[in-house]
Structure 1
Amino acid sequence: MDVLAWLLDSDPALRWQVERDLAGAPPEVWEATRARVASEGFGARLLAAQDPDGRWAGGAFFPAGFRGDEPQPWTATTWSLNALREWGLDAAVLGDTAGRLAANCRWEYDDLPYWDGEVDCCINAWTLANGVWLGADVAGIADWFATHRLPDGGWNCEWVEGSTRSSVHSTLNSLKGLLAHEKATGGTAETREARRGGEEYLLERGLFRRLSTGAELAPWVREFGYPMRWHYDVLNAASYFRDAGRRDERMAAAIELIRAARQPDGTWLQQRTDTGRVWFPVDVPAGEPSKWLTFFATRVLDWWDAR
């Protein structure tokens, strides 16, 4: 199987990244493919679903009318912005979306203004990344992360319920938000220190072990799935460290877990899918070879093996 050719036969949202990071295509090639995200495939379909007031599905984190009697839906504004940003959409295509959301979108939690964030670490991380991408003023959210780290070095979305122990899920998502902010603005001394400390929280655990016993955190550290959304696994974590440009030997065993999951034909399987409403599917069902996961895993291994 020609895995590269298989990956290149993809929606523009994935193809441009394959061209840039795996195929070594020149900028004029992958940039042209990236521009097609706005007019073709996944990107165009999701853009067409945007409400006139700037939102998606009439809500910030949950769609309008959500009552909690169904699995988490993935159609509301935050999830839609996450997808478009991760697919590489040029923020200019969204025009005045940041302003429309400031005027029309409020969090389901306490009716707080959208670009001010709320109390959930993961939600704030996505809002921080989406905000710097769209040009919104989200400096207050970046500062929030610096003051809401837990004593063990990471973050936990349940801090508001009294949790004092960090979560790998919350910590990884927080790191992604802080990295996006730092790349866009340079960050502050406090946010840079917070991000470095959060990285140490994960690295001390080898990305997948309990600090107390060295045992594996749970089976889900090996269960790779796309879209990744809020879920933690070693592929998601290693992809962050690649994006951050930080190689550390403490993640060597986690890298081997990723390598071991490669199938004989060079692909990686979809191992986890989320229930809940979506605008449309963007990857294969569980058990089938996933182009997205194969791309992420191949890119991580190429980066690691080039040390």
Structure 2
Amino acid sequence: SAAARRAIARVEQVTFGGDVPWSGNRFFEGETEHCINGQIAASGAYFGVNVRPLIERLLAGQLSDGGWNCDSDSEHGSFNTTICVLEALLEYEMSFGGEAAITMARQAGEGYLLERHLFCRKSTGDTIFVDRHDKRGSFAAPAFFQLAFPPWWHYNILRALDYFSRSAKTHDERLHGALAHLKSKRRTDGRWNQDILHRGTMPVDLGEYPGEAGRWNTLQAMRVLSRFGKSPA
């Protein structure tokens, strides 16, 4: 729409500030962390912005296990960063068309998550209870089962399932465990909770708080189950 184009034109003029190496960069030029650049590239691609330079940087940052990590010293991917980059690559392909290099990178990133069944350690197959990046989660409430909107850079099974439902990967058996957990989290009134609020500033107050029904989580969960051909009932 014309209103959306005007808004994007304003965002394109926004620059990063502060005493950081990327100070002065325009918004869609991004910064240094793949998780942030993934979110920027995904939003830009959705609105038709040329984010190709960011996509190239994301492709160059892929690790040998197929994932991505904001920790430049790490040799292993992280769930959080990988989902941010995957969303960006998929959005770019949907907006500008597929390319072999992007598709191959995206499929390798999908493999990183699928090998871990979306919430497990690859080495043992055990559920990951605590996210070592932000220390959230516990035995009673595993980190990646905690649903949140907006998720910012944080990973959860609903976000991952939404990605796989959009990328037409709904028949992989390694998604079944995450789907079962998502369905088990449905409240008796048919909705899903806002389990946690991540730190971040929204331009408007969504009026959703931990322990209460979350409209956005409910919408996304119902959309996911519909795409997977599973009734939310």
Instruction: Work out whether the TM-score is over 0.5.
Output: yes
What is the identity, as a one-letter code, of the residue corresponding to 2:84? Answer: N
Aligned-pair identity (%): 32
Q: Please say which structure displays the higher CA radius of gyration.
A: 1
What SS does the aligned partner of 2:105 have?
A: helix
Q: TM-score if structure 1 supplies the norm length?
A: 0.65
Contact 1:225 1:271 in 2 (8 A): yes
For 2:206, the equivalent position in structure 1 comes to 282
CA RMSD of aligned residues (A): 2.2
- Among 205, 215, 222, which residue is 2:116 paired with? 205
For 1:190, the equivalent position in structure 2 comes to 101
Shift of 1:134: 4.2
For 2:9, the equivalent position in structure 1 comes to 96
More displaced stretch, 293-302 vs 202-211: 293-302
What is the identity, as a one-letter code, of the residue corresponding to 1:304? Answer: F
For 1:224, the equivalent position in structure 2 comes to 147
List aligned pairs for 1:142-181, cutoff 5 A. 142-159=55-72, 162-181=73-92
* 1:142–1:107 distance in 2 versus 1, CA, 3 Å: farther
Q: How many residues align?
A: 215
Contact 2:45 2:88 in 1 (8 A): no
Shift of 1:198: 0.3
Distance (whole Å) between structure 1 residues aligned to residue 91 and residue 200 of structure 2 = 27
Contact 2:197 2:209 in 1 (8 A): yes
Contact 1:271 1:287 in 2 (8 A): yes
Shift of 1:150: 0.8
Q: Deviations over 1:127-161 (max 9, x none)?
A: 212332444332111111221111111000112xx
More displaced stretch, 223-232 vs 200-209: 223-232
Answer yes or no: is 1:255 the counterpart of 2:179: yes
Distance (whole Å) between structure 1 residues aligned to residue 199 and residue 95 of structure 2 = 33
What SS does the aligned partner of 2:153 have?
A: coil
Runs of 4+ aligned residues of structure 1 deviating over 6 Å after TM superposition are none
Answer yes or no: is 1:106 the counterpart of 2:16: yes
What is the identity, as a one-letter code, of the residue corresponding to 1:191? Answer: I
Counting helix residues as a fraction of each chain, which structure ranks higher? 1
Shift of 1:257: 0.3
Contact 1:262 1:268 in 2 (8 A): yes
Contact 2:151 2:198 in 1 (8 A): no
Distance (whole Å) between structure 2 residues aligned to residue 168 and residue 95 of structure 1 = 29
* 1:273–1:150 distance in 2 versus 1, CA, 3 Å: same
- Among 276, 282, 291, which residue is 2:215 paired with? 291
5+ long unaligned stretches in structure 2 = 130-141
